[in-house]
């Protein structure tokens, strides 16, 4: 690994007390410089466990939703000087021992966004993913690949790595506070012409892991299709969108810019 690259893992957390410590224990601490957990008003012992483990903990005053939680995660990571930011669900669905493989393409200068693909790893259904989720995942990925002109195996993963350059560029604060945030930030990656790659990760579904229910899954799917339509309309010049055109520096208050952006970005 190149020296001097600060790697920060962010965990958007909500009621993760049963799985947080297992997720933390698997992280390679010789690679990870800091772990930031953002608690979205959990009703269990998530905060207490995170503090006991020595994580940096940020507690929301009120529940903001999954997307809103990620916004705080990335702002805090940028403020803390991250060169690479890993987004990892603390629900133990993803194998955190694979962080070195996940961040390698970014450290090597080969990509700015790396996705941990459960489909690429095979055994998705054997790993416990419900059939309806697998089918909807495959359908949405097909639509997104056609719209974005990519050949990715999965867009809907909660295990991702971003370069600092990426997070200082895309206006992720304009994205939804709901689950569709994940789809929006990928559409932004394409709109701003960032290189995206994947690594294979195993699928792990179990009772204690957080999971989107059928109703929320349907809403997420429809919202993802809406993101694809907005992206296409913007790319064709039919309906321009700040979400796919403005840079993060253009929407951040100048009073906060010095704590978020590095000097060379501001100049």
Mean pLDDT of the chain: 93
Give the residue, 102 or 266, on which the prediction is more confident: 102
The answer as to whether 267 is a domain residue is no
Percent of the chain past pLDDT 70, that is, above it, reads: 94
Domain span at 151: 7-261
pLDDT confidence of residue 122: 76
Query: Half-sphere exposure of 149 toward its Cβ, with a 13 Å CA cutoff?
Result: 7
Distance CA 189, CA 80 (A): 23
The answer as to whether 266 is a domain residue is no
Nearest to 106 by CA among 7, 237, 187, 21: 7
Distance CA 117, CA 124 (A): 10
Q: Which residue has the tokens 């999954």?
A: 66
Q: Does residue 267 surpass a pLDDT of 50?
A: no
pLDDT confidence of residue 265: 45
131-135, 235-239, 247-251: range with lowest mean pLDDT = 131-135
| 124 — pLDDT class (breaks 50, 70, 90) | confident
Distance set, CA 231 to CA 5, 184, 197, 222, 252 (Å): 33, 9, 20, 14, 22
pLDDT confidence of residue 2: 54
The answer as to whether 27 is a domain residue is yes
Q: What is the mean pLDDT of residues 42-49?
A: 98
Please tell me whether residue 34 adopts helix, strand or coil conformation.
Answer: strand
Q: Does residue 123 surpass a pLDDT of 80?
A: no
Give the residue, 226 or 133, on which the prediction is more confident: 226
The answer as to whether 50 is a domain residue is yes
Q: List the CATH number of the domain containing 197.
A: 3.90.550.10
Please tell me whether residue 261 adopts helix, strand or coil conformation.
Answer: coil
The answer as to whether 75 is a domain residue is yes
Distance CA 96, CA 106 (A): 17
Give the residue, 216 or 182, on which the prediction is more confident: 182
C-alpha distance across the termini of the chain, in Å: 29
Say if CB 161 and CB 84 are below 8 A apart: yes
The answer as to whether 2 is a domain residue is no
Domain count, the chain: 1
Q: What is the mean pLDDT of residues 143-164?
A: 97
Q: Residues near 225 by Cβ (< 8 Å), separated by ≥ 6?
A: 140, 143
Element housing 265 (H / E): helix 263-266
Give the CA diameter of the chain: 52
The answer as to whether 232 is a domain residue is yes
And the tokens for 238? 């039919």
pLDDT confidence of residue 181: 98
The answer as to whether 26 is a domain residue is yes
pLDDT confidence of residue 129: 81
Percent of the chain past pLDDT 90, that is, above it, reads: 85
């Amino acid at each position: 690994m190149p020296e001097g690259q600060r790697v920060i893992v962010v965990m958007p957390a909500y009621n993760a007390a049963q799985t947080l410590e297992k997720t933390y224990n698997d992280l390679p601490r010789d690679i990870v410089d800091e772990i930031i957990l953002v608690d979205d008003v959990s009703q269990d012992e998530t905060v207490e466990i995170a503090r006991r483990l020595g994580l940096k903990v940020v507690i929301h005053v009120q529940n903001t939703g999954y997307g809103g939680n990620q916004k705080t995660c990335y702002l805090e990571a940028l403020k803390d000087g991250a060169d690479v930011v890993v987004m990892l669900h603390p629900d133990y669905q993803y194998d955190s021992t694979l962080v070195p493989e996940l961040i390698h393409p970014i450290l090597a200068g080969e990509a700015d966004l790396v996705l941990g693909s459960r489909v690429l790893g095979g055994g998705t259904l054997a790993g416990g993913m419900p059939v309806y989720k697998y089918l909807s995942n495959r359908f949405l990925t097909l639509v997104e690949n056609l719209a974005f002109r990519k050949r990715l195996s999965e867009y809907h993963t909660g295990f991702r790595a971003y370069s600092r350059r990426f997070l200082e560029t895309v206006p992720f604060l304009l994205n939804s506070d709901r689950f569709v945030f994940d789809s929006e930030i990928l559409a932004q990656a394409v709109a701003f012409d960032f290189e995206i790659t994947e690594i294979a990760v195993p699928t792990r579904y179990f009772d204690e892991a957080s999971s989107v229910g059928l109703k929320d899954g349907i809403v997420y799917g429809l919202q993802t299709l809406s993101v694809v339509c907005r992206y296409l309309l913007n790319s064709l010049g039919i309906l321009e969108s700040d979400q796919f055109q403005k840079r993060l520096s253009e929407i951040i208050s100048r009073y906060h810019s010095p704590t978020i952006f590095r000097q060379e970005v501001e100049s």
